[in-house]
């Protein structure tokens, strides 16, 4: 039976999208991340392909492209939801601090585990392998926290977005260290970020001012194409390209803040807001489709047999313990006692996979088993699932208890002279 044919591909792609939509609905009811269901679907398809002798397909180029586009769409989607107001300054700084501290400490802990438990692992390679395993997955977190309170939801959106961006920047900073001739050091790295921010602001203003004057009804995919082009060119220039996407999203989502004074005369807020709302819709839809195929193809490409290794189990278990121990300490310092379910919302996902496959050949270690990657992704996702289910149960119980208590009244009686 021929699996890879025009009509078969259309049928297969359509069925996967329909199943992904159903998984999202099931996820909202059960709190099981749709990403886990997609990975399981991919693993199932892997065995179906083996049955038809089609398992030799190379999915990595597709996985890499989907990962990059998905990353851009997810960060843009998150940025479009972030409001920059004075009262938001404290939550933003808190989320940034938690994300940065968690990233650095978790990476350091994973480095020690990999360095001591994997033969041939050098300290430099350990940092490159540990960084992807320490980055929170906004691709999993953002769709999963919609049922939380506004403040907790906002915290997780900020934290996961910051973790994505800083984790990627940290990874490519470490990658630059492999080639001393190209290593610009901390000063050059800071200058790179500053240059990226300046370019991002200029590009964001230019895009908004130009696109509000385009009268064509089909301009949103043109806008996305421009953003993808800027991201790719930024990568070619060794800039922190994800900052370009983040800043553009923040600018268009907070136009009244960025277009003040004389600049306000250059923009038609009604047209610009129309672009914003349409972009928000198409970004969410695109992110959904890209995320769907990324995790299904990831499931297709993983070696399930590696999960049976005792060494993989031990290393993965130690990494999971370090993730939640460090997260517990950080959240207790910055959030006090109310850290449920935030403590357990720390899944790894799209960026972890994408950066893992981006480790340069000269830093790769033959004895590192990809099963560790899969165990950590599945483990953190399952832990988040149980925490979200428990939190939902706890809230339901609190509501039931409150509803079951009768509201009584006491008849007021005027005091008598004898009681005065």
15 exposure class (CB count in 10 Å sphere: 0-12, 13-18, 19+): exposed
Asked if residue 202 belongs to a domain, the reply is yes
Asked if residue 174 belongs to a domain, the reply is yes
The DSSP line for 301-352 is HS-GGGGG-HHHHHHHHHHHHHHHHHHHHHHHHHHTT--TTGGG-----HHH
Name which of 169, 254, 255, 244 is nearest 199 in CA terms.
244
Asked if residue 274 belongs to a domain, the reply is yes
Asked if residue 410 belongs to a domain, the reply is no
Domain that holds residue 357: 6-137+149-396
Measure CA 24 to chain center.
Answer: 16
Q: Can you list the alpha helix ranges (DSSP code H) found in 261-309?
A: 269-301
* Cβ contact 57:49 at 8 Å: yes
Domain total in the chain: 1
CA–CA distances in Å: residue 228 to residues 60, 224, 241, 279, 366? 20, 6, 10, 14, 34
Q: Residue 369's domain is classified under what CATH number? A: 1.20.1530.20
pLDDT in tens, the chain (420 residues): 566 678 888 898 999 999 999 998 888 887 778 888 998 899 888 888 877 766 566 677 777 788 888 878 878 887 887 778 888 888 889 999 999 999 999 999 999 999 999 999 999 999 999 999 999 988 788 878 877 888 888 899 889 988 988 898 898 888 877 776 666 667 777 888 888 899 999 999 999 989 888 887 778 888 889 999 999 998 888 777 888 888 998 899 898 889 888 888 888 888 888 888 888 888 888 888 888 888 888 888 777 777 778 899 999 999 999 999 999 999 999 988 889 899 999 999 888 988 888 888 899 998 898 889 989 998 999 999 899 888 877 777 777 776 766 666 556 665 555 555
Rounded-to-integer distance, Cα 393 and Cα 398, Å: 9
Rounded-to-integer distance, Cα 91 and Cα 96, Å: 8
Asked if residue 419 belongs to a domain, the reply is no
Residue listed under structure tokens 């993983």? 302
Asked if residue 18 belongs to a domain, the reply is yes
Asked if residue 369 belongs to a domain, the reply is yes
Question: What DSSP element (H or E) covers 70?
Answer: helix 60-79
Asked if residue 417 belongs to a domain, the reply is no
How many residues are recorded in the chain? 420
């Amino acid at each position: 039976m021929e699996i890879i044919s025009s009509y078969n591909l259309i049928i297969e792609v359509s069925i996967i999208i329909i199943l992904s939509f159903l998984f999202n609905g099931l996820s909202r009811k059960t709190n099981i991340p749709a990403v886990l269901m997609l990975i399981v679907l991919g693993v199932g398809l892997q065995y179906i392909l083996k049955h038809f002798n089609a398992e030799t397909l190379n999915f990595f180029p597709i996985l890499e492209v989907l990962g990059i586009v998905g990353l851009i769409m997810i960060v843009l989607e998150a940025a479009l939801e972030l409001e920059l107001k004075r009262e938001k300054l404290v939550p933003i700084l808190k989320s940034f601090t938690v994300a940065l501290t968690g990233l650095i400490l978790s990476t350091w802990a994973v480095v020690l585990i990999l360095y001591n438990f994997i033969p041939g692992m050098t300290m430099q390679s350990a940092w490159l392998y540990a960084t992807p395993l320490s980055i929170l997955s906004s691709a999993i977190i953002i769709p999963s926290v919609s049922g939380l309170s506004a403040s907790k939801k906002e915290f997780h959106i900020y934290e996961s977005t910051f973790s994505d961006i800083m984790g990627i920047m940290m990874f490519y900073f470490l990658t630059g260290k492999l080639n001393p001739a190209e290593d610009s050091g901390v000063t050059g790295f800071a200058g790179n970020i500053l240059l990226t921010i300046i370019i991002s602001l200029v590009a964001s203003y230019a895009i908004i001012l130009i696109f509000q004057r385009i009268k064509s009804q089909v301009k949103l995919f043109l806008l996305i194409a421009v953003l993808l082009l800027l991201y790719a060119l930024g990568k070619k220039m060794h800039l922190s390209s994800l900052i370009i996407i983040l800043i553009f999203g923040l600018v268009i989502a907070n136009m009244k803040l960025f277009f003040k004074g004389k600049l306000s005369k250059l923009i038609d807020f009604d047209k610009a807001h129309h672009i914003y709302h349409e972009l928000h819709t198409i970004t969410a839809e695109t992110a959904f489709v890209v995320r769907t195929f990324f995790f299904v193809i990831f499931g297709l490409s993983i070696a399930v047999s590696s999960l049976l290794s005792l060494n993989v189990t031990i290393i993965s278990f130690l990494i999971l313990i370090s993730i939640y121990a460090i997260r517990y300490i950080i959240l207790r310092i910055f959030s006090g006692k109310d850290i449920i379910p935030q403590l357990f919302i720390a899944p790894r996902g799209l960026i972890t996979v994408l950066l893992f496959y981006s480790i340069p050949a000269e830093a790769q270690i033959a004895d590192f088993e990809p099963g560790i990657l899969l165990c950590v992704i599945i483990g953190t996702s399952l832990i988040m699932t149980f925490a979200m289910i428990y939190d939902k149960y706890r809230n339901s119980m609190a509501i039931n208890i409150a509803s079951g208590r009768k509201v009584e009244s006491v008849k007021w009686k005027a005091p008598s002279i004898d009681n005065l």
